[in-house]
């Protein structure tokens, strides 16, 4: 067995054409390419999985158990990490209206994961199902929370914040907030919640307190001061529900693709970029150097549901 190693450090580069389109100066807008971490298509979960895999391997576990939505990026990357190390993998996924084998779900199956479908249940109940299924497994099974959003995952992104600080001087980081661990870790590493703007994509309730508390835990684990303030989260970009793209998200995907050749996804990064675009247009980013954290997610865009949505949008674009 070999522990998972993400392809790091990930690059940071400017987005001058997008900046111009938003009325910003060319050097104001940058992207941290966490989509290039290299594990089964890349994404921010590779950083977190390095920590979880270390614990699982040292503890003699034979199976990884995690979960999420049917197009979960975290599930796909956990399945890949398990395959790399000869471990089994069980994915506890919320049952969709149609079990279409495309996008991340197709990759889950290719990577050998066993799918355990559950009815659409709340976030906390799904996390409990992961723990219960791991406990009942016939082999020693290691439960990983949805999105890897617990202390090890937050520690991983506190370290990313420190990596980013060696690459660039900046004022603000913008990131999608699904299960909260990435934003919490970034705030812990930077020492100030005001320097991290999260965009809520609607995955769970009570996310503000969760991020604030987890950031404090991650900072303490690393011997860092508790971050100043409380989590800064934009709740206005969710739309109808988690996973349901918005018109703002559609605009963000097309604008970023056509100005920078950068591909976002409709569940996480598209909604996060929609938030950034709105803030720029309302003057909230004036005079600031901003880094957008690209957390990955491209396979989700290639699921049948979202290719049909984007295909319809392209007819009029």
The catalytic residues are 72
Give CA–CA dist 57/62, Å, rounded: 8
Contact of 39 with 68, CB cutoff 8 Å: no
Q: What region does 296 belong to: left with phi over 0, alpha with psi -120 to 50, or beta?
A: left
Nearest to 237 by CA among 211, 208, 206, 268: 268
Nearest to 177 by CA among 192, 157, 152, 162: 157
Q: Which two tokens stand for residue 39?
A: 């594990």
Give CA–CA dist 159/169, Å, rounded: 16
Give CA–CA dist 81/89, Å, rounded: 9
Nearest to 296 by CA among 20, 9, 23, 10: 10
Q: Which two tokens stand for residue 247?
A: 């018109």
Edge-to-edge strands of the sheet including 141-143?
114-118, 88-94, 63-68, 141-143
Q: Which residue has the tokens 């290299």?
A: 38
Edge-to-edge strands of the sheet including 29-33?
12-14, 29-33, 290-294, 172-177, 196-200, 232-234
Q: Where are the beta strands (DSSP E) in 222-315?
A: 232-234, 290-294
DSSP lists the bridge partners of residue 176 as: 199
Nearest to 2 by CA among 64, 87, 65: 87
Give CA–CA dist 149/157, Å, rounded: 10
């Amino acid at each position: 067995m070999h522990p998972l190693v993400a392809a790091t450090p990930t690059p940071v580069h400017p987005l001058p054409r997008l900046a111009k389109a938003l009325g910003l100066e060319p050097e104001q807008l940058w992207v941290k390419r966490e989509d290039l971490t290299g594990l089964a298509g890349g994404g921010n979960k590779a950083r977190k999985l390095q920590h979880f895999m270390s614990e699982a391997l040292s503890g003699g576990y034979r199976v990884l158990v995690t979960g999420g939505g049917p197009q979960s990026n975290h599930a796909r990357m956990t399945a890949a990490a398990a395959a790399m190390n000869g471990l089994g993998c069980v994915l506890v996924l919320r049952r969709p209206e149609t079990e279409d084998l495309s996008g991340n779900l197709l990759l889950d199956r290719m990577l050998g994961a066993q799918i355990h479908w559950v009815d659409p249940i709340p976030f906390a109940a799904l996390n409990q199902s992961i723990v219960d299924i791991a406990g009942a497994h016939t082999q020693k099974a290691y439960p990983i929370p949805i999105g890897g959003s617990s202390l090890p995952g937050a520690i991983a992104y506190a370290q990313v914040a420190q990596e980013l600080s060696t690459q660039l001087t900046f004022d603000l980081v913008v990131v999608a907030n699904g299960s909260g661990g990435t934003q919490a870790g970034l705030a812990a590493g930077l020492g100030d919640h005001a320097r991290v703007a999260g965009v809520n994509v609607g995955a769970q309730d009570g996310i503000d307190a969760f991020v604030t508390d987890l950031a404090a835990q991650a900072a303490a684990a690393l011997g860092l001061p508790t971050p100043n303030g409380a989590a800064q989260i934009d709740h206005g970009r969710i739309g109808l529900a988690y996973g349901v793209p918005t018109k703002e998200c559609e605009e963000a995907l097309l604008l970023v693709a056509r100005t920078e050749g950068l591909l976002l996804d409709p569940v996480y990064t598209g909604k996060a970029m929609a938030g950034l675009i709105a803030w720029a247009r309302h003057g909230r980013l004036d005079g600031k150097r901003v880094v957008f954290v690209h957390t990955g997610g491209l396979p989700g865009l290639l699921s049948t549901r979202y290719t049909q949505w984007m295909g319809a949008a392209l007819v009029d674009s």
